[in-house]
Amino acid sequence: MNQPNEQKKVHHPALWVISNYIAMGIPFSMVIWVSGTMFKDLGHSDSEITVPIAAIGIMWSLKPFWAGFLDIFKTKKFFVLSTEFIIGVLFVLMGLALNLDGYFGAIIAIMWFVAFMSATQDICSDGIYISSLDKSRQAAYIGVQGMAWNLGRVIAVSAIVWVAGYLQSTSCMSPKSAWMYALFGSGALMAVFGVYHMAMLPTGSVPEGKQGQTARQVVDDFLTSAADFCNKRSLWGMLAFVFFYRSSEGLLLLEAPLFMQGCVEDGALQLALEDKGIIDGTVSTLVSIAGGLLGGAFISKFTLKRTLFVLALCVNVPNLCYVYLSQAVSPENPLSFDTVAFVVSMEKFWYGFGFVGNMLYMMQQIAPGKFKMTHYAFATAFMNLVLVPTQMVSGPLADMMGFKEFFWMVIFAAAPSLVAAWFAPFPQKEGLGEDHFVDDDDQLGDAERKSQKAAREATIFALLATALFLFADVLFLGWMAKTESGAMLAFFLALIVVTTAVKLVLAGKAVGAGRAAVALTEGLPGDASNKPYLSNAKGAVWGGGIMLVVSVLLAGYAGKTAVSTDWGCAFSDQAAECLQPEKKAPKQCEQKTISREQSVLKGFFSGEETEPRKPCDAP
């Protein structure tokens, strides 16, 4: 059990906040970005890469489901140290797995464990930050916290990728050997952070009112906070904004770095690993931070409500930068390092500028209330869910369409983001302080309470159906599309049948309860101001109806797959060829990528002008 809250010596925040958030940024970046770079360097297609990596990303959306249990067993410091050491070991295992014939599947499996450990590390690191610093110091170090996390991203996406590329180009190591040593280095780095934090990291106290809780009490608190979340005014409109604001971003997060690395004969940029590390890790991160700071100042001056649509434009319109790159590059016209760095940095700057609107909206409109931290976690989890399906399909779409058409499609995929920003509701008034929120329980009469309860019940059914689709079915579909085993295909089809039946029940209840709530609410006297939960009731009807349609379509897809599959072949020794007939052997570019010219930017980062480097097979 945890120790009671007590006054303990806490080292100066600068001695542990920076290192703690660097250590948080590394594993997330390794799983989401560096692994894709590694697999691409080893010759795997974008389709092979994006589907499993996007699926792993769902682990960070599941954090609220186990966060409350951690305080029951050990201190926050214990979990931070444990996860850092375990993640270090897992990175080493990933490096060793490269020597296996089936290294791809083995590394993907290990990364699921890395993601779980990283999510747990995030929970407890944030808990230490909140419980060890007073509000003034929390505010003072919030910017340092964010920049430190981004520094962790730089270390992973830039430094570790650079090491892998450097070992290949100078020591003439094979790609597998170079990546093995790079992964060993990342594992050692996590162990160094663990050792340092043993001495410097505060213990982290249990929040007031949480000491001595049982598992049952944790579950009850979670359910209470979830029910209160469903009471929020204009909930469906707010969730629509949170979900769709990043609709086009998900198509870029994994695919844009792969585009920079792909073969020029396939319409990609074919950057060397060192060059890609500098652009994707260092330059992109620095300009994103600058954009975020200026975006925050812009909102502070003009208010979030007045700037939200402009911020959505800033997030999406600069994606035209990738349209330009994909149209301009060709085998006869490979683009220079400086050109790529400048164009990509423009997109990253404006993305950073506009993205702050999403985070502030969740903080100011969704989170306020007595369960502020939990409701913010719910909102961020829902926000990340749109990234799973969009990242999954990004690779297959890019392989099928080609980069020129794919990036035009990304531009059109921004439409839901712009619509959601234009119609985003603002139930909480701006400028009244972080503790101000509309407390409906203190304002509603008996009739309004009945309306609230009916709308909440319908909303719960609709959200459960939606979550089942986004959390479970999307993963099953992704795994099913890549399976090479008849038994696994049958297993995933059976799971989809079960979840579809459950969704039909939940969605049907949402529609029925939502219609009843609409009728009850519309029968109340007065105008719309006396019917604050009418939009929630209507949203539940729409949400349930959409899930009914999705369930029917999903059932049809499962049935078609079951009928069209050659099950005799699927259970034979030729199952892989039968189920994945279009799968190709790992591909290498026709020419090894080398630096083509001197570069001002590369000279800035390396301290000297760069010269073309001879490939390893040159005399």
What would the pLDDT profile of 298-352 be if each residue is shown by its tens digit?
888 888 899 999 999 999 988 999 999 999 998 888 888 899 999 999 998 998 8
What pTM, to 2 d.p., does this model score?
0.84
C-alpha span between 27 and 183 (Å, rounded): 11
Q: Report the half-sphere exposure of 354 (CA within 13 A, side-chain side).
A: 23
Q: Where are the beta strands (DSSP E) in 235-377?
A: none
The radius of gyration computed from the CA coordinates of the chain, to the nearest angstrom, equals 25
Q: Give the torsion through C-alpha atoms of 403, 405, 406, 412, to 10 deg.
A: 150
List pLDDT tens digits, range 107-133. 999 999 999 999 999 888 888 887 777
Which of 271, 245, 241 lies closest to 256, judged by CA? Answer: 271
Q: Cβ(457)–Cβ(537) under 8 Å?
A: no
pLDDT(5) > 50 = no
Q: Which position has the higher pLDDT, 365 or 96?
A: 96
pLDDT(613) > 60 = no
Q: What is the rounded average pLDDT of the residues 408-436?
A: 81
What residue ranges define each of the domains in the chain, with the CATH number in brackets? 10-204 (1.20.1250.20), 218-430 (1.20.1250.20), 445-579 (no CATH)
Which of 22, 28, 3 lies closest to 78, judged by CA? Answer: 3
- Computed from CA positions of residues 243, 246, 252, 253, in that sequence, does the dihedral angle turn out positive or negative? negative
Q: Report the half-sphere exposure of 85 (CA within 13 A, side-chain side).
A: 10
Task: Look at residue 127 in the predicted model and tell me its pLDDT.
Answer: 80
pLDDT band at 7 (very low <50, low <70, confident <90, very high): very low
Residue with tokens 């790159």: 325
In this predicted structure, which of 32-36, 189-193, 302-306, 438-442 has the lowest mean pLDDT? 438-442
List pLDDT tens digits, range 70-112. 777 788 889 999 999 999 999 999 999 999 988 999 999 999 9
- Angle, alpha carbons 44-50-55 (nearest 5°): 130
Task: Look at residue 526 in the predicted model and tell me its pLDDT.
Answer: 64
Residue-averaged pLDDT of the chain: 84
pLDDT(14) > 70 = yes
The one-character DSSP state at 207 is P
Give me the numbers of helices (H) and strands (E) for the chain, helices first please: 30, 0
pLDDT(467) > 70 = yes
C-alpha span between 506 and 499 (Å, rounded): 10
pLDDT(598) > 60 = no
- Computed from CA positions of residues 112, 56, 147, 262, in that sequence, does the dihedral angle turn out positive or negative? positive
pLDDT > 90: percent of the chain:
36
**Both structure tokens of 241:** 């904004």
